[in-house]
Structure 1
Amino acid sequence: MLWFKKQPKDVQVIERDLIVPAELTLPFDANLFQQHFSNLKHVAEQDAGLDAYISSMQSKQKLYAESLNEAAIDSLSLEKIEVLLELVFTARRRVYPVLQKMGEQQSVLLIKTLLYGNGMLLERMQSFTEALPVDEGADKAGQKLAAKIKRAAFDFAAEMLHYTDPVKYPLMSRWVWDQSTVSGALREFIRGNDHMAEVPLGNSPEMFEGARKWLAEQVAEQGIYKDVPFWVDMVLADAYSTYFRSMAEGMLSADFGRSGGPEEYVKKFLGIDTMRRSGRTRVKKDSEVQVTN
């Protein structure tokens, strides 16, 4: 959860999944934060405005919290899971067919174990992806597709945690940071990152919380003390949007479709982009990968 000050040594805090922020292995640059913060404001002004972005994120959070809280999760359905997936751009095209094949009961149990089961947080997230009955097959194409599905499932797990309790859990999606590809929004806050072959931030929840703590402190320097988790997410989305638009879109656009201006990328990363007309879902219902029984 967000920590602004060190806790007294004589105070024992006992809380499930209490994430103590780690010290960052590389320094973040406040000037780079200011650039992204200023750009975020500019981008939002060309669109519906920052208040509208916050309102959309609050609505998303309410949907997740109402659907996934411990008292309600046993009544979760595949239809509701589809609604939740609709709001996760990296997962909406890959995860649903596997969960559908598993069946509603097993899918709900898998999500419940992720959110409220025993074990360390990162282990539960990894177990969530590994439990998906995806047949990797014998050929490289099948193995590559299966890996994509599991990575998408990890993002879905990250968003379920974050939006169920955005104060407790930082957003740990791959677009925020992916140590395996050494890419993500966090890299954009490191001065000289373009020349770094290695960026050893790691992928622990403690690292994500340490980064979020730093970003929250920068947000506070702007005089903002309300909805801080969402402000942090918005600045991260702007940072990753800057990175994304600097790359060849043909290399990265498979998960994004054809977007318009920078505001569309920011909203897509946050999962608050405009849905299709007539209520048509963007969740893909079929999959090229084989699902095991």
Structure 2
Amino acid sequence: MDSESAVEFLKEATKLATSHELEGIAQRLEAKRDLFGTELSEVRLGSMSEEGFVELLRHVFSIRRKSRRLVRIVGVDALRGAVSDLVHGSGDPSDRFEAFVSSMDGVIDQRRAINLAGELLHFSDPEQHWLWTNWMWDHQTGSGALPMVIQDDAPLSGGSLAERYRNVGAALRLVEASGHSRNISGNADGMLGNDLFLACVHGVYMYTVFRLKLSNEFNRILPELPELVERVLGVRNLEVRPND
């Protein structure tokens, strides 16, 4: 774990977002976990309609604008089966992850398929299944938030998607063990805290690059860090229910 880099990203994130804003994002992450956990239960998933899938997939950043098209191309029954196999199937989750991505071949590109599989599996049970998205680590380019905060000798690449998924999980456990995510995540802990921390790393990097390289006109319409983070996590405008 590259603690020095992690601390620097943490400092920049807390300059660009208030603790109140970060706590709000943490609460929305928990709301997303609750939503996915409920909707992807075996009972609810077994009767999920086209509109139900569309609404759920609108909370997946890279899929949200293609959600209706994806559902109609795949078909509700086939999608229900693929998601059920991913979330509730037998065998190693990494193998189920790879099988789901393969089932989306010809429907969406592999990056989006990885994002979709990662979000469905992760938010159905965040402590059992970790998140892998291309903003976290793009196995084709080697870029992403995760490589920026882990040491070079932490392996991410592998011979198959299943192996890469397992390696991402091992790296995320290192991030969780470092404690940095707890310093930024408010009420969210564990892997949800990791989600917020790494989304902030991604947001700080993008924010810095945009500010340095793009025109003043573009920078004036660039969203602030909290909005960038909410968007990549798929929690923008997600309703948070008050505690009883």
Q: TM-score, normalised by structure 2?
A: 0.79
Counterpart of 2:45 in structure 1 is 73
- The one-letter code sitting in structure 1 at the alignment partner of 2:81 is L
1:274 is displaced (CA, Å) by 3.4
SS in structure 2 of the partner of residue 179 of structure 1: coil
Q: How does 1:160-171 map to 2 (within 5 A)?
A: 160-171=120-131
2:6 is the counterpart of 1:33: yes
CA contact (8 A) 1:129 1:154 kept: yes
Q: How does 1:134-153 map to 2 (within 5 A)?
A: 134=106, 149-153=109-113
* Percentage of matched positions with identical amino acids: 23
CA gap 1:209/1:101 in 2 versus in 1, 3 angstroms? closer
Task: Could you tell me which runs of 5 or more consecutive residues in structure 1 were left unpaired when the two chains were aligned.
Answer: 1-27, 135-145, 252-257, 276-293
Task: Could you tell me which runs of 5 or more consecutive residues in structure 2 were left unpaired when the two chains were aligned.
Answer: 159-163, 215-220, 239-244
Return the structure number with greater helix share.
2
SS in structure 2 of the partner of residue 241 of structure 1: helix
RMSD of aligned alpha carbons = 3.0
**Per-residue CA distance 1:59-116 (angstroms, 9 max, x = gap):** 1111100000223220222212112211111111335313212321111111101112
CA gap 1:93/1:259 in 2 versus in 1, 3 angstroms? farther
Q: Distance in 2 between matches of 1:266 and 1:220?
A: 17
CA contact (8 A) 2:86 2:97 kept: yes
Counterpart of 2:230 in structure 1 is 267
- The one-letter code sitting in structure 1 at the alignment partner of 2:23 is D
Counterpart of 1:173 in structure 2 is 133
Q: Distance in 2 between matches of 1:152 and 1:77?
A: 22
CA contact (8 A) 1:166 1:229 kept: yes
1:206 is displaced (CA, Å) by 2.6
CA contact (8 A) 1:85 1:91 kept: yes
Select 1:129's aligned residue among 101, 109, 118: 101
Q: Distance in 1 between matches of 2:37 and 2:181?
A: 29
SS in structure 2 of the partner of residue 173 of structure 1: coil
Select 1:202's aligned residue among 145, 157, 173: 157
CA contact (8 A) 1:36 1:239 kept: yes
